[in-house]
Amino acid sequence: MARSVPTGFVACPSLLVAQKAARQYQHRHHPSAAAGVFDGALRSYSTRPAEADFQHVRPKVTITTLRKLYKRKEPITVMTAHDFPTGTLVDKAGIEMTLVGDSLAMVALGYNSTTDITMDEMLHHCRAVARGTRSSFLVADMPFGSYETNPDQAVNNAVRMLKEGKAEAVKLEGGKEMAPTILRLTQVGIPVLGHIGLTPQRQASLGGFKVQGKTVAKAKAMIEDALALQKAGCYAIVLEAVPEQVATHITNILSIPTIGIGAGAGCSGQVLVQQDLLGLYGHVPRFCKTYRSLAEDIIGALREYSADVKSRAFPAEEHCYPMPQVELDKFMLLTEGYKNEQQQNVSAPQAAASAGERA
């Protein structure tokens, strides 16, 4: 394929400082053109910052927003996110609540259990999601070991989650035994999303990932847990892996929203793990609906890329940067000079060696 520049020549200068200065100048003096100029410059840079040109097409979701949705019986949408891109996508999709769940331990970090993730890791991922979130209400899971010891420990770590992680609320697992801790958190102004039913951080003591509340006794205990969490000040409660009838009854007797995951359609809202919804892994729980099978599409795209590179079909001419013809002519003369000089450097020792042999 014909190319306008020699193979291997790539015009890719560092643009970081220039981009920042140009963007600041454009926003001050030509705000309407700023985005276009900046985006044009970024096309020359391979590791450009991810898209962050958020348009505030909807108001910021707050706890007041969630309460209004609940009062008019409009289902609340919740979705997990674990980094800047997934957070941005959830926000742009119009989801009301974004959850930085400790499930990221398994779906994003490759751990065997949610209990493996640390507080520092959760903070790192929460900050990334926060940078991609403008409208959605941002909630972060309190990781295992960060809140169980006593209420003071929970407050200290929850404050870190809000200050360092940029979350707006925290989620913690447990029933009425956690009510004193939740009460302490809410008393100091930290919004808490409760979580009962199947609590993955305690799955070892529950005998694995099993449906909870299948007997009358366990259903009664779950109702007591829900009422205790509501009294402690939770703004909403997640019900996970609970029979639909039990979850619906709990929803009906509470005066705060319930967010179901494997708990039927009677809850005030629903949450899923984003990777399950998108079909990025083979196995998904029974309660999850897979809306896309992106793993197949992604693997297919990566294989096509690999094949194109091997066959030299990529990069094509449209993926390369041209040089002005005048500069290209000068460059070709320069390369010819280098080529002649290299040939002379090679031929001189050879000539000397031949002369020595003749002598």
Gap between the Cα atoms of 84 and 194, Å rounded: 25
Gap between the Cα atoms of 14 and 299, Å rounded: 31
Q: Which residues of 181-205 are buried (b: 16+ CB within 10 A; e: fewer)?
A: bbbbbeeeebbbbbbbbbbbbeeee
Residue 133: closest CA among 110, 170, 107, 165? 165
> Measured between alpha carbons, how far is residue 252 from residues 135, 234, 258, 312 in Å?
29, 16, 9, 63
Residue labelled with tokens 């490759």: 110
Catalytic residue (one of 96, 168, 173, 240): 240
Gap between the Cα atoms of 132 and 150, Å rounded: 33
Using DSSP, state whether 188 is helix, strand or coil: coil
Q: Is 224 a catalytic residue?
A: no
Question: Looking at the DSSP assignment, which residues form a beta bridge with residue 239?
Answer: 196, 260
**So which residues are the catalytic ones?**
240
